[in-house]
Amino acid sequence: MRKSKRFAAVALLATFGLVAAACGDDESTSGDTAAETTAAAGSETTAATGGDSDIVAGVAFDTGGRGDGTFNDSAGVGADRAASELGVEVKELEATVDEDRKANLELLAGDGANVIVGVGFMFTDPMAEVAAANPDVTFGIVDSVVDAPNVKSLVFAEEQGSFLVGAAAALKCGCDKIGFIGGQEIDLIKKFEAGYIAGAKQINPDIVVESKYLGPAGDNSAWGNVAGAKEIAAGWYADGVEVIYTAAGGSGAGTIEAAIEAGKWAIGVDSDQYLTAGSEDAKKVILTSMLKRVDVAVFETIKAVVDGDTAGGIKVFDLSVDGVGYATSGDYLTEFVDQLEALKADIISGKIVVPTAP
C-alpha cells in the first residue's frame, strides 16, 4: 500500500533547473516567466513512496486545489485511491493563475509522469498543446473533450444527477419555490440547472425554480464568490424559497451560510458536502449533494494506463455507471429513497430523458 506525503513544488521545479522568485503580484509577470513563478509560489506536489508500480501519475488541479470541498477534492480522492490501490507514484500541482495550467502540465510531463489528469475544462487548450508535444504521455481531461490520440476525455451526465437532487428538493420541501445558483453561465453549468428544474417538475409540475449565475463565461471569480452566492441565497430564502442548489465551486459555501441563518435547505455539488461541511450547523441544512464522481474518473484513467491502455477517446460517466448520483448523508431523504431510485432506473432505461439545457 502506498501513502502520499506533500512537499513544496520547488522540489519539482529544481528538476528543470528553474529558479523563480516567489514574490510580487500576478500582474507583475507575464508569459513563461509568470507561469514558472506562480507554479513555484502557489503549487504543491505530492510524491508517493513505496508500492510496486513503475507508473507515475500527475494530477493538475485547477484553482482552489485540495480543500475546495467539491470538484478538486473529489479528484484528490481518486488520486489517493490510485496511490493506495495501484501502487503508483502520484505528483500533484495546483493552478493559482491561468498561466499555471499549461506550465503545470509541462512540469508534470517533464518530471516523468506517464499519465496526467487535468481537473477541469479550463485545461482544454493547454492540454491540446502539451499532449501534442508529449505523444508518449497519456493525458486525461475532466469536463472537456480534446481530440488527440493520447487524451482521454472524461465527461459526465451532470443533468442526470441534478435531476435526482431536483426531485429530492421538491419531495422534501413540498413547496412551490426552490432555487438554483450557477457559477459561470456556460453550457456545462446549464446542464446542472436543466436537470434540477426537470427533476423538481417531475414531482411538482407547478413548482417555480429561481435561477441566477454569478458571472458570465470567462469570469473565473464566479467559482469563488462566496459573498455573492450568500447574498442571492439570503434574498431568495427571505422571499420564500425553501431549497437552493448551487453549482459554482467554492461559491456554494455562501449558500450554506445563508441556509444556516435562514434555517432552510441547501444542496451541495460534486462531493458529498455533508461530509466536508466542517460544522454541525452546516450538516443540519445540507439536504443532499449531487455527486459527480470525478474521483472515479481520475482513478479509472490512471488504472487504464497501469493496465496498458494508453489510447485517447471519450468516456461518459452517467447514472448507469454511477458516474453521477445523489448523497444520503444525514438521512434527510430516507423516506424518499425508493422514489428517487425508481426515477434513477427510469433515466437509465431511457424512459426519462433528462434535458441538458433549461
Could you give the CA distance from residue 313 to residue 149 in angstroms, rounded to a whole number? 7
Greatest C-alpha distance within the chain: 63
Q: Which residues of 57-81 are buried (b: 16+ CB within 10 A; e: fewer)?
A: bbbbbbbbbbebbbbbbbbbbbbbb
∠ CA 306-126-298, nearest 5°, is: 30
pLDDT by residue (tens digit) across 303-344? 999 999 999 999 999 999 999 999 999 999 999 999 999 999
Output the pLDDT for position 331: 97
pLDDT at 33 over 60: no
pLDDT at 293 over 60: yes
Domains in the chain, please, with CATH? Answer: 3-156+294-319 (3.40.50.2300), 158-292+328-349 (3.40.50.2300)
Beta strands in 148-264 (DSSP E): 151-156, 177-185, 208-216, 243-247
pLDDT by residue (tens digit) across 64-98? 888 887 889 999 999 999 999 999 999 999 999 88
CA nearest 56: which of 67, 71, 45?
45
pLDDT at 48 over 90: no
Tell me the three cell numbers of residue 217: 463565461
pLDDT at 196 over 50: yes
pLDDT at 27 over 80: no
Q: Is the dihedral of CA 199, 200, 203, 206 positive or negative?
A: negative
pLDDT at 31 over 50: no
Q: Tell me what the mean pLDDT of segment 251-268 comes to.
A: 97
